[in-house]
Amino acid sequence: MKFDILTLFPGMFLGPFDESIIRRAREKQLIDIDIHNIRDWASDRHQVTDDAPYGGGAGMVMKVEPLTACIESIKTLHPASTVVLTSPRGRRLTHQVATELAEREGLIIVCGRYEGIDERVRTLCIQDDISIGDVVLSGGEIAAMAIVDAVTRLIPDVLGNDESAESDSFGDGLLEYPHYTRPPEFRGLTVPRVLLSGNHELIRKWRRRESLRSTIALRPDLMAELALTKEDRKLLAELERDDASSSCC
């Protein structure tokens, strides 16, 4: 998969893409990442890429000419790639959105800055807007990193085990179940006995039940979108009985 990132601050990407899963995916040539400095497409000798907004107001706006020239130049090289703008106006990045993006030929990710981009850039060039949440960031670079990371994990062979991505939180619509490793006891806290049993079917059911428990407690909004199986309903009934017995004691 091809990622092209358009930014005013290319130095921000020097570390994050050279470590861990992203680095290994690049080394295996499963992904290719190029960082492009938008200032290189500015026509003046000072490489100005922003200006005061028409109508007044605080802050600056990214200029239409250099940003459009930059996007069109990269799009010419990779015409099948989708141009994505990191923007608070965009649809929220979710596991489902990341899965959709992972099926694209490539992504040209435009990192917004200042008060935003000239609206004409969006009209002429932008094919998708993505937000990583209802929070104000200094720019779109961190959001771009999140998009690349989330999408890369879903590309076949990146993790070495496709089940790992599927069982992550949100992979099946639920939060992930609790994890434990050695030692079996620490400061009086013990690992659930079922995880030590060696019974894989009991372990699978326990994990599903705990995923349901965590989702109900922490993200009940996700439950409304979940297609419950017959087993899920049985596990939910068990949770309700557990809660009822706990409240009685």
Residue 101's nearest CA partner among 31, 142, 150, 29 is 150
Contacts of 206 (CB under 8 A, 6+ apart): 177, 192, 194, 195
Chain centre distance of CA 21: 14
Tell me if 122 sits within 8 A of 130, measured CB to CB.
no
**Is 88 an annotated catalytic residue?**
yes
- Is 209 annotated as catalytic? no
| The total number of residues written for the chain in this structure | 249
Look at residues 93, 109, 99 and name the one whose alpha carbon lies nearest to residue 151. Answer: 99
Q: Which helix (H) or strand (E) holds 142?
A: helix 141-152
Catalytic residue among 100, 115, 128, 232: 115
Q: Which of 10, 16, 53, 88 is catalytic?
A: 88
Q: Which of 50, 113, 122, 153 is catalytic?
A: 153
Say if residues 109 and 148 touch (Cβ distance below 8 Å): yes
Selected catalytic residue, list 100, 128, 129, 168: 168
Contact 82, 128 (CB under 8 A): yes
Residue 163 is a catalytic residue: no
> Is there a catalytic annotation at residue 168?
yes
**Cβ neighbours for 42, distance < 8 A, ≥ 6 positions apart:** 48, 49, 63, 65, 66
Catalytically annotated residues: 88, 115, 153, 168
